[in-house]
Each structure stands twice: as C-alpha cells, then as structure tokens.
Amino acid sequence: MDWVSLLGFTAAACTTAAFLPQAIKAWKTRGTRDISLAMYLVFMTGVTLWMLYGILISDYPVTIANAVTLLLALTILIAKLKFG
C-alpha cells in the first residue's frame, strides 16, 4: 500500500469513527431531540453520493469510509425517528 492510500484510509478512519460515539449515545440514552433531522437527511444524501463516487472511480478509502459512515448516520437517523 502506498502512502497516499494509507493517508486516505487514515483520514477515512478518523472521520468515520467520529460518528460512533454519537450513534452509541443516541441508542443508549434514546436522546435525539437536539439532533437536526434535516441535517442528517442532507448529510446522508451527501455520504451516499460520495460512496457512489468512490465506487465509480474504484477508490477504496472513499467507498469504504462512506459506506461505514452511512451505516452509522443511518443508525442515528433511525434513533431520531424512533425516539424523537
């Protein structure tokens, strides 16, 4: 693996992992009142588009990071819709 790919995977890991504490907190506390539904819908649209872009250009760091981020954001969105 070259240093550019390593840089991409490291950046992807950091930005994706940032969502994990929020997803865990949302499910544990069922507290999502202060989370903006509109922001998450727009964000998830962007993440989906980035993931598709990564697939189309065969860029694994972009594809994998956005797929995992999409799952974490979806977890938070489901918690928002469920717990409100």
User: Average pLDDT of each block of 10 consecutive residues along the chain (84 residues)?
Assistant: 86 86 86 86 94 94 90 88 83
CATH assignment of the domain containing 9: 1.20.1280.290
Domain count, the chain: 1
Residue ranges making up the domain that contains 41: 3-83
Half-sphere exposure of 39 (CA within 13 A, CB side): 6
pLDDT at 84: 75
pLDDT at 22: 85
Structure tokens at 44: 């998830």
Vertex 70 angle, CA 64 and 30, to 5°: 140
pLDDT at 51: 95
Of 31, 33, 50, the residue nearest 42 (C-alpha): 50
